[in-house]
Amino acid sequence: MAIWNLGSINADYFYRVPHLPGPGETIAATDLTRGLGGKGANMSVAAARAAAHVAHIGAVGSDGAWAVERLTEYGVDTRRIQTVDTATGHAIITLDSRGENAIVLFPGANMNISQNAVGLALTEAEQGDILLMQNETSQQAFAAETGSKMGLRIAYAAAPFSTESVGAVLPFLDILILNKIEMAQLHLATGLMPSADMGVDTVIVTLGADGCALYDRSAGWVPQHFPAVPVTAVDTTGAGDTFTGYVLAALDRGMTMPDAIRLAAKAAALMVTRYGTADVIPDLKEVLDLG
Q: Which stretch binds ligand ATP (CB under 6 A): 122-130, 135-143, 248-256, 262-270?
A: 262-270
Mark residues 160-199: x for contact with ligand ATP by CB under 6 A, - for none. -------------------x--------------------
Report the nearest approach of ligand ATP to the CB of residue 85 (Å): 31
Mark residues 127-166: x for contact with ligand ATP by CB under 6 A, - for none. --------------------------------x-------
Establish if 228 lies at the interface with ligand ATP (CB under 6 A). yes
Which of 194, 211, 245, 282 forms a contact with ligand ATP (CB under 6 A)? 211
Question: Which residues are documented as binding site for ATP?
Answer: 179, 206-211, 240-241
Establish if 44 lies at the interface with ligand ATP (CB under 6 A). no
| Among 84, 78, 80, residue whose Cα is nearest residue 124 | 80
Local structure of residue 50 (DSSP, 8 states): T
Which of 89, 136, 206, 260 forms a contact with ligand ATP (CB under 6 A)? 206
Looking at the Cβ atoms of 54 and 229, the one nearer to ligand ATP is 229
Local structure of residue 230 (DSSP, 8 states): P
Establish if 215 lies at the interface with ligand ATP (CB under 6 A). no
Establish if 233 lies at the interface with ligand ATP (CB under 6 A). yes
- Residue 197 a catalytic site member: no
Are the C-beta atoms of residues 122 and 154 closer than 8 Å to each other?
A: no
* Interface with ligand ATP: number of residues (CB under 6 A): 23
3-state secondary structure of 279: helix
- Contacts by 280-289 with C-beta closer than 8 Å and gap 24+? 280/238, 281/42, 281/45, 281/46, 281/49, 281/238, 281/241, 281/242, 281/245, 282/49, 282/242, 283/49, 283/50, 284/49, 284/50, 284/51, 287/50, 287/246, 287/263
Looking at the Cβ atoms of 111 and 231, the one nearer to ligand ATP is 231
Q: 126-135 as b/e, with b when 16 or more CB fall inside 10 Å?
A: eeebbbbbbb
Q: Which stretch binds ligand ATP (CB under 6 A): 24-32, 86-94, 209-217, 281-289?
A: 209-217
Q: Using CA of residue 1, residue 288, residue 71, residue 112, what is the dihedral sign?
A: positive
Q: 208-228 as b/e, with b when 16 or more CB fall inside 10 Å?
A: beebbbbbbbeeeeeeeebeb
Question: Which residues are documented as binding site?
Answer: 10-12, 38-42, 136, 179, 206-211, 235, 237, 240-241, 271, 274, 276
| Among 164, 169, 165, 136, residue whose Cα is nearest residue 152 | 169
> Residues with catalytic annotation?
241
Please give the residue ranges that form the binding site for ligand ATP (CB under 6 A).
159, 179, 206-209, 211-212, 228-229, 231, 233, 236-241, 243, 265, 268-269, 272
